[in-house]
Structure 1
Amino acid sequence: MHKLVVGACALVLTGLLTSGCSTIRAQVDGSTRADSASIEMAPVLETAEWAVNDGLVSVMVRNDDSRVLRTATVALQGVDADGVLVGVWDTDTMAGESACCTVLDLEPGEEFGLYFAVGPDAERIDDVELSFTEISWAKAGSEAAEPVAAALPQDTMLGPDRTVVTARVETGDQDVPRALVQAVLRGRAGKLIAVVTGRWSCFEAGEERRIRMELFQRVPVGTAVDTVTVDRLDNAPQPTCP
């Protein structure tokens, strides 16, 4: 799987892999160390920013590791202003929609968008925490893969109950049988508004195709596409292309 950025998860993993640092107090023969020393574990990915818009919770995560994160499945835990759990959302609660909650081929220093269709409860969320499962890293020092396609945003059409983003995808020297295309939407002041993602099939080598990405939420006037990314889905069922 490859990605190019152009201009623009119900299981909670208890233990080590959370978006905040986990603390383990060493115990030997049932007794705690006298110095109460603790070990802090770094998060798998950093939460760069998050936003709530019309029942949709969008989260941008960043890879601060020196390795490429090949894949990770994410669960979102939301709490209110009093720290009370509002809910947990993942691929199961999103009706098996893996595109919402799976990070793909995230290179060091880059960001990836996740989205969770929470509904009315989203407005109660004051803070979010992420947990990660099914984590796969590339070997340290692995070279970044060459991009297989470029995507350029074109128009953003706002409606009373949905938002449509159009983009032009330009395929490289190889066919791309199945791809995940993602757009990050921001407001006039650069604030994160939403993440919209879709799957497409059968991009031929050297092809230029205009695609439409639908977000079934309203967005504020002035919202525009910040970035568009293309990920090749090699692990998904492959279509029969002409």
Structure 2
Amino acid sequence: MHKLVVGALALVLTGLLTTGCSTIRAQVDGSTRSDSTPIEVAPVLETAEWAVNDGLVSVMVRNDDSRVLRTATVALQGVDADGVLVGVWDTDTMAGESACCTVLGLEPGEQFGLYFAVGPQAERIADVELSFSEISWAKADAEPAEPVAAAVPQDTMLGPDRTVVVARVETGEQAVPRALVQAVLRGRSGKLIAVVTGRWSCFAAGEDRRIRMELFQRVPVGTGVDTVTIDRLDTGPQPTCP
């Protein structure tokens, strides 16, 4: 009796392995089709351009969706010229620094800069791939958010071990308790060099303030500021402003 049961189980298992391989393979590939053809899934954001400079990997991403991307956490995977994985970098490897790896309030058609302080091994990276988590979209018919402030570049100071971008921030009729300010640096040819990002607090309504954004990497001579943007941070602990 036991031999018959074992034999029957073996036949069932053989049938599953021979007739169900394509289905199992399709599930592993993220597809529900039975012919093992993977279904193409559009990326959350398109990688517009990326650059390596003095151990820093900077990436510009673009929102090709019709909705506003409220937030997304990004991980960077870098490979060398032979396709061998150099490393993966995210908020954990960046010591919990979320400013490096989090996209905030990205309108359709606009770009956002990310940066990853990889170190010397960044020079080995020949290609990058991004993955996204903690994704939040606004409704497709949501009204665009009114700008709460404007940021204008004023000066760029190049040093032997750091770069300082000076910008002027002008707030509107409302105070901004917390803000994320970002500068995109480009070379004389227009090539992306680096992204500088920082957080500031307690912008009063109608204020005109100069801020200094420090990048702890050297940049080539002739590097200038392409754009400076400012986004209000409504999540997380809010400061007590005067």
TM more than 0.5: yes
Q: Deviations over 1:32-66 (max 9, x none)?
A: 43xx4431100000000000000000000000000
Q: Which residue of 2 aligns with 1:194?
A: 194
The 5 A counterparts of 1:117-196 are 117-196=117-196
Give me the whole-angstrom Cα distance separating, in 2, the residues matched to 1:71 and 1:135: 6
Distance apart, 1:238 and its partner CA: 0.6
Unaligned runs of 5+ in 1: 1-21
Q: Which residue of 2 aligns with 1:16?
A: none
Structure-1-length-normalised TM-score: 0.87
Q: Which residue of 2 aligns with 1:87?
A: 87
Q: Which residue of 2 aligns with 1:3?
A: none
Give me the whole-angstrom Cα distance separating, in 2, the residues matched to 1:106 and 1:114: 12
Structure-2-length-normalised TM-score: 0.87
1:26 is aligned to 2:32: yes
Distance apart, 1:234 and its partner CA: 0.6
Q: In the alignment, is the contact (CA less than 8 A) between 1:23 and 1:41 conserved in 2?
A: no
Q: Deviations over 1:68-116 (max 9, x none)?
A: 0000000000000000000000001000000000000000000000000
Give me the whole-angstrom Cα distance separating, in 2, the residues matched to 1:201 and 1:113: 20
Give me the whole-angstrom Cα distance separating, in 2, the residues matched to 1:197 and 1:37: 41
Q: Which residue of 2 aligns with 1:58?
A: 58
Question: Cα RMSD over matched residues?
Answer: 1.2
* Local SS of the residue matching 2:40: strand
Q: Structure 1 or 2: larger helix share? A: 2
* Local SS of the residue matching 2:39: strand
Q: Which residue of 2 aligns with 1:209?
A: 209
How many residue pairs get aligned? The number is 215
Amino acid at match of 2:32: A
Return the structure number with greater relative CO, CA threshold 8 A, min gap 6: 1
Distance apart, 1:23 and its partner CA: 5.7
Amino acid at match of 2:30: I
Give me the whole-angstrom Cα distance separating, in 1, the residues matched to 2:214 and 2:37: 50
Q: Point out the structure with max Rg over C-alpha.
A: 2
Unaligned runs of 5+ in 2: 1-27
Q: Which residue of 1 aligns with 2:102?
A: 102
